[in-house]
Structure 1
Amino acid sequence: MNEPETRLHILYDISKELFSSFPLDNVLKAAMNALAEHLLMRDAGIVIYGDEGEPRITVWAPTAHDVHSRSLTIEQAHAIDRVVASGETHFGKKSFIFPVKVNRKAIGALWIDRAYIGDAEEDQKNLLKMIAYLIGLTCQRYRCRDDASVTEEQPAGRVPNIKPKPHLTQFGKVDWIVGESPAIKKVFETTEIVAATNSSVLLRGETGTGKECFAKAIHALSIRKNKPFVKLNCAALSETVLESELFGHEKGAFTGALLQRAGRFELANGGTLLLDEIGEISPTFQAKLLRVLQEGEFERLGGTKTLKVDVRVICATNKDLEGAVLRGEFRADLYYRINVVPIILPPLRQRDGDISLLAQVFLEQFNKSNDRNFDFAPSAIDILSKCAFPGNVRELDNCVQRTATLASSNTIASSDFACQQDQCSSALLWKDPRDGNGNGPVHSLNPRDATLGGLGGNAVTLSGSAATMEAPGLTERDRLINAMVKGGWVQAKAARILGKTPRQVGYALRRFGIDVIKE
């Protein structure tokens, strides 16, 4: 390692692999193989993170381990997290971790577990630092090429790199939100206004309505767009795990905490943090979360040092938070802190015309992922448009993927759908109480007829039944939404259904943060 010729030879071999024209993961594997030929190492790898902070590519050095069954140890994962969050190199007793940067922002890491500690440690550090720099340049080159790929010709026999057609979205750079319905346009208008501020946002809506997509849109349209967008699903996490995930922990804070770890608040510093399923956190943890939202400071689990962060928090839920507050399950002070600007996302059945647009986008994504060339017959689009899709966009996506997977020809016909063969499993979850026996699937109804019982989506009710308004378990908010849907979103009609005055209905709409949908 002391000889300059040796270092140049290693750099040449690795550069030759990095600047080839193969897919990025293959290029990184080849570079790691070349590095393993020149350096004695116990283990090594490259981790590249995606835009949402999840590992997108993990490449291992060729060792005696089974590559397919390998995963990072807790210590490695925590150390890499710190390096990516800080952008600083980590030198351990027998390991080196170097940040991989694109435009000065760490997007991953090169880590080496050395086989021995030699005399040429500084030379090895400098060499690996240069290699990490070259890996960053390679990642940047691939990102730029991906951005320009829509204008390039595709290889013969391949399905083109399809993106949503310009007419499918009206939302500029936010190309992951598709729709032309008045309901979705109104929500996006609110999103654009809110994005320009630092106000806390509470995204509400049934499951599958795209709350995470709108959180990403708020971040992308804000002045924080060049900072991290970090997300965490709060559901099904114990209080200790949730505290560690959000605030981080010190070494020895609990069994298995072998190293210090930065939490999501630290990782999102300067950017945006999405807390999904916020209604599921325990009352005890609600108090801890309230403090960081109010003061912008916290301590890691097991630590005493107070850390300050600048994070915009977006919360999302499909739970009836007002009812939870009244029952003492959710702190009122936290409710008011996160509910500064509520945005209610419309269910798919209230987005006239968007089902066909979304279905086409999902089919194009399926074609791209599976090297296929499917298309919808007009009769198939007609079937989809008549479906209520109580599971909303997520259910529509699943329906399209399932149908395309099992389709017998490149043109998907109406007969290809599971619901036309009495094999739709989702239909078993959503029954029509007008049937009497509860056997009528909502999928067969006009999308405007169906409404879910509350934001939790635990029960489906239909506006055609008077009993729906007094169904057991419905909150005042649920009954108000059902009345508004039944009355065509006309406050006077909803007032007659509820036996109230239009003024009282208008007040209730404002109190519950319900946006009136224009028919």
Structure 2
Amino acid sequence: MHKRDLGCSGLYRISRVLITSASIESRLANVLNTLPALLPMRRGAIVVLTAEGELETTASSGVEHASSGARYIPAKAAIDKIVAKGAPLVVPDICKSDLFQDELQSILSGTGQVTFIGVPMKVDQETLGTLWIDRAKDGATRTQFEEEVRFLSMVANLAARAIRLHRHENRDGQPIVSEEVAREVSSADKELPESARQRPTRIDWIIGENPALKRLVESVKIVARTNSAVLLRGESGTGKEFFAKAIHELSPRRKKPFVKLNCAALSAGVLESELFGHEKGAFTGAISQRAGRFELADGGTLLLDEIGEISPAFQAKLLRVLQEGELERVGGTKTLKVDVRLICATNKDLEAAVAEGEFRADLYYRINVVPLFLPPLRERNGDIPRLARVFLDRFNKENNRDLAFTPAALDLLSKCNFPGNVRELENCVRRTATLACSATIVPSDFSCQNDQCFSSTLWKSAGQPLGGHTTSGLATGLGYPNGPGDLTVTPNLTDRELLISAMEKAGWVQAKAARILGLTPRQVGYALRRHRIQVKKI
């Protein structure tokens, strides 16, 4: 085993490599060339996230195919897990891990058992990439692994600071001398402005590498800097609340409250009390004064979910607060000033609601300053396995389990459309993990493979394979591509015709039509308004 030198001397050697005037690629390569003298390392690589969110091998040592370009990413599944969780990963024997099953031959290459150690490269909670090494399994103890992880984490963070400084240099066009690089490596970004040091730059709770999602995240970062009202639009289960939280956390208001309220299923009176507050004795049961959500969010951010469900009468009251920044509590006469950044969310077709007089046009223009459209999960190619692993890791931590997916299980998940989007995927993972009979989840563990999945039943009744697409785009357009469960599907049937057919079969009862189509009554109502279909009275 190589002689270990993981203290100050080892870090000093790494720092000396990073503060040279060589290119960033050369410096990172020299970091990897220095590590074998400090660790029993066989191979290793530094993998960096590009501006587009793609993984790119910037430096490597002993990795086959590295000369063919940065697109080849060894141990990619493990790297994805490290980046997604922002935490180190130790796999004592890669032969026993599903993360490496697709590339065991190239990794082992005639050696015995191999241990993998990977750590995130972080600066101020932002993960810029991953540093990983592997080595022959040598009976190292848990304490030794922990020592190596601590050392590699410090090395990775030093390298991450050098990378970020390099990016600042390229952006500003200003050379950074070696002395300043040395100060950056050793003083944790003291040269950056105060606001840049304190404001987070990565949204850890939004997971995915799909280009559409990446573009949305970049838009969120830009929008967060302002006080403009934002309207989050997308299907149910796409994570509108998480994006609202991201806007708040990335904004100058992040140290003030983030308050949220779901407007659906609340009467106008209850909604008014919830938002504006009430005075003692304002109505029966008002035994004390109560501040409303606007007051609680003063100086911060207020999320109004399901904004499309509020009544026309209350829309006028809400408009006044948004226009003037003033309100009175229910039963009160004192005018209160509030400073609130408003974020609204809906899956309703507000344009159709405005056209039909259900939603005030002036309120629509007030809340629709910056519209952001959240992509459904079925359009986020490649994100389902990544999300599924994150949800399973979360389940394992909460329940003290150690479950893992087989590649075949992840492949099956990838073929599902998940009409309920991320929320349904998480429920699927939790249900499967709860009922799993062994530590490894295989395709047969999923309820859809045992005729116990409602969505799967609808797909099969429409003559479609699991996760397949229906002949009509109606369900796909609304986020429920599982197809009609009790209709004879005609090829090339339009969305409008399929909806009318379902309504006629249901006697024009929206709830029955919803069951036929595999939708919710609210989504059927949305589709009827979008297609301008007049509901018949029978």
One-letter amino acid of the structure 2 residue matched with residue 235 of structure 1: A
Which residue in 2 is equivalent to 1:445? 468
CA distance in 1, matches of 2:251, 2:356: 36
- 1:186, distance to aligned residue in structure 2 (A): 1.2
1:467 paired with 2:493, answer yes
Q: Which structure 2 residues correspond to residues 280-359 of structure 1 after superposition, within 5 A?
A: 280-359=309-388
Question: What is the root-mean-square deviation in Å for CA atoms of aligned residues?
Answer: 3.3
CA distance in 2, matches of 1:317, 1:215: 12
The answer on whether the counterparts of 1:201 and 1:341 sit within 8 Å (CA) in structure 2 is yes
CA distance in 2, matches of 1:451, 1:356: 26
1:392 paired with 2:421, answer yes
Higher relative contact order (CA 8 A, sep 6+): 1
Q: Work out the percentage of aligned pairs sharing the same amino acid.
A: 65
Once the two structures are superposed, what CA deviation does each residue of 1:107-161 show, in whole Å capped at 9, x if it has no partner? xxxxxxxxxxxxxxxxxxxxxxxxxxxxxxxxxxxxxxxxxx97899xxxxxxxx
- 1:327, distance to aligned residue in structure 2 (A): 1.1
The answer on whether the counterparts of 1:298 and 1:307 sit within 8 Å (CA) in structure 2 is yes
The answer on whether the counterparts of 1:320 and 1:456 sit within 8 Å (CA) in structure 2 is no
Query: Normalising by the residue count of structure 2, what TM-score does the alignment of the two structures yield?
Result: 0.53
The 3 A distance-change label for structure 1 pair 359 and 281 is same
Indicate the larger mover: 231-240 or 446-455. 446-455
SS in 2 for 1:209: coil
SS in 1 for 2:291: coil
Q: Which structure 2 residues correspond to residues 404-423 of structure 1 after superposition, within 5 A?
A: 404-423=433-452
The answer on whether the counterparts of 2:229 and 2:341 sit within 8 Å (CA) in structure 1 is yes
1:383 paired with 2:412, answer yes
Which residue in 1 is equivalent to 2:395? 366
SS in 1 for 2:302: strand
Once the two structures are superposed, what CA deviation does each residue of 1:304-363 show, in whole Å capped at 9, x if it has no partner? 111010000000000111111111111111111111111010000000100000000000
CA distance in 2, matches of 1:423, 1:213: 30
Which residue in 2 is equivalent to 1:173? 202
Which residue in 2 is equivalent to 1:228? 257
The answer on whether the counterparts of 1:320 and 1:454 sit within 8 Å (CA) in structure 2 is no
Which residue in 1 is equivalent to 2:273? 244
The answer on whether the counterparts of 2:471 and 2:491 sit within 8 Å (CA) in structure 1 is no
Which residue in 2 is equivalent to 1:86? none
Which residue in 2 is equivalent to 1:137? none
The 3 A distance-change label for structure 1 pair 380 and 457 is closer
Once the two structures are superposed, what CA deviation does each residue of 1:424-472 show, in whole Å capped at 9, x if it has no partner? 02445xx45xx8xx53468521699966465586995899953234436
One-letter amino acid of the structure 2 residue matched with residue 444 of structure 1: G
Q: Which structure 2 residues correspond to residues 7-406 of structure 1 after superposition, within 5 A?
A: 172-406=201-435
The answer on whether the counterparts of 2:301 and 2:342 sit within 8 Å (CA) in structure 1 is yes
Structure 1 unmatched runs, 5+: 1-148, 154-163, 475-511, 513-519
Structure 2 unmatched runs, 5+: 1-85, 91-118, 129-199, 501-529, 531-538
CA distance in 2, matches of 1:350, 1:305: 50
One-letter amino acid of the structure 1 residue matched with residue 462 of structure 2: N
CA distance in 1, matches of 2:469, 2:448: 15
One-letter amino acid of the structure 2 residue matched with residue 467 of structure 1: L
The 3 A distance-change label for structure 1 pair 454 and 294 is farther
- 1:173, distance to aligned residue in structure 2 (A): 3.2
Aligned residues: 311
SS in 1 for 2:221: helix
SS in 1 for 2:290: coil
SS in 1 for 2:251: coil
CA distance in 2, matches of 1:440, 1:165: 46
CA distance in 2, matches of 1:285, 1:233: 14
Once the two structures are superposed, what CA deviation does each residue of 1:172-200 show, in whole Å capped at 9, x if it has no partner? 43110000001111111111111111111
One-letter amino acid of the structure 2 residue matched with residue 238 of structure 1: S
